[in-house]
Structure formats: C-alpha cells, structure tokens
Amino acid sequence: MEINCDDHLNKIADLFCDTEVDFEELAKSVKKILLAIGEDPEREGLQDTPKRVAKAYDELLSGYRADPKKLINNALFDVAYDEMVIVRDIEYYSMCEHHMLPFLGRAHVAYIPTNKVIGLSKIPRIVDMFSRRLQVQERMTRQIAEFIDAVLEPAGVGVVVEGMHMCSMIRGVKKHDSRMTTSAMLGVFRTQMGTRMEFLNNISRGAQSLHF
C-alpha cells in the first residue's frame, strides 16, 4: 500500500511511508538468532520458525502501516453534544522498543466534543494503530491523545494507559507485578481540574486490576 506521508493525518499517525516488511530478510535474521543462541534451526520444531516469526512481527507491528483514513472512514459525525465521552478498558498489545518484548494492558480514552464525535468502535482501532509498533508506553499514550485531538478537534482529550511490561516481569529484576500508568491530558483535561477528576474517577470506578 502506498502511503502519502505529506498527508496531514498520516503525519500525525507517524507512519512508515516508503517501506514494506521484508519477510525474507526478517526470516533470515531469525534464523541467525537461532544459530547465535546455539540452536539448530534445522531441527523439526524450528524449521518453519523463522517464517512464522516474520509473519508474527508483521502482525504485531502492523500499526506503522495502518491507514488512518480508512480507520475513521464514515465514522465522524456532527453532533451537538458537549459532555464527556469515555471509552474505558480498551485492551492493547504492544512491543517495548528497548527489548522487543511485549507490553500489554488497558487504555482509557476520553474526550469532550465540540461538534464532532467518532464512532465508539474506532477508538480501540486508534489505540491498535499506535500500540502495534515498537513503543514506549509514554509515547504511545501521547500519540493516541494527539491523534484524537487532531481528528476531532475536541475541547479536550484524556488518555490513561496501564501496562505490564514483560521486559521487567520475566527478566532483570523480575518484578512480576510491576505495572506502569501513563497519561496524556490535552485541552480542558489539562486546564480544568474538575474535568480531569471526572475522567479519573470514572476509570477507577469498578476497575479490575490487570491479571494474567
């Protein structure tokens, strides 16, 4: 798919423009990793692993080449509504860019429309677009907020993301229960304490803790 990176929306989505996933090169690299760790890439269980891993990466990192136009297509509505819209507990799966290990959790998104609202099912897809990349949770949180801000031009956007990071859970200090919360507050979510509190109270109410 050709992505026009001069396009305003594509710029905000921070896409990869002129590249495609090179499956062959990716599979070759995985085979090299197998050799480097002392494995035998020819043994039965590993024969197709490089190809499988290449496919898996393509899927896990598909957010770089998502089409934001398609994603919000026909889902923007002119509505005279100026109360807070909240979508909470959006599951996401991402990959930490430091270790290329998964981090996952839930995102909570809120905005106060001025005259445009977006179909509710689209917000999780916006989260997917930014989570299916090599990420740090802080940047992902900000990107989600800024994208919604650009598309809807709302009075404000709030995004809170909770994440469990495999890189700290299964290696290093092995903090099995370490979770991180990040937030991005724009517009009235930044300037008005009451608005921010309404959002934060809502998402903490009845929230289940993250479990495996």
Return the number of the residue (85 or 167) whose C-beta is nearest Zn ion: 167
We find the least distance from the C-beta atom of residue 94 to Zn ion, in angstroms, to be 11
User: Distance of alpha carbon 115 from its chain centroid, rounded?
Assistant: 26
CB of 55 to Zn ion, least distance (A): 23
Pairing of strands 85-96, 134-135: parallel
Confirm whether 98 is a catalytic residue: yes
Q: Catalytic residue at 137? A: yes
Closer to Zn ion by Cβ: residue 51 or 99: 99
CB of 100 to Zn ion, least distance (A): 8
63: part of which helix (H) or strand (E)?
A: none
Q: Which one, 101 or 150, has the nearer CB to Zn ion?
A: 101
Alpha helices in 3-136 (DSSP H): 8-13, 23-36, 49-60, 68-72, 122-131
164, 105 contact by CB (below 8 A): yes
Residues that bind Zn ion (CB under 5 A): 96, 98-99, 167
Separation between Cα atoms, residue 83 and residue 12, nearest integer Å: 25
The single residue of 39, 138, 167, 198 carrying the catalytic annotation is 167
**97 labelled catalytic:** yes
Could you confirm whether 5 is annotated as catalytic? no
**Pick the catalytic residue: 5, 47, 91, 98?**
98
Query: Strand 102-112 and strand 156-165: pairing?
Result: antiparallel
CB of 103 to Zn ion, least distance (A): 7
Please tell me which residue in 96, 135, 143, 162 is annotated as part of the active site.
96
Q: How far is CA 34 from CA 49, 58, 104, 160, 187, in A?
A: 9, 19, 26, 38, 49
Residue whose Cβ sits closest to Zn ion: 167
Annotated active-site residue 17? The verdict is: no
Q: In whole angstroms, what is the distance from residue 160 CA to residue 110 CA?
A: 9
- Tell me whether residue 96 or residue 109 sits nearer to Zn ion (CB atom): 96
Active site residues: 96-99, 137, 165, 167
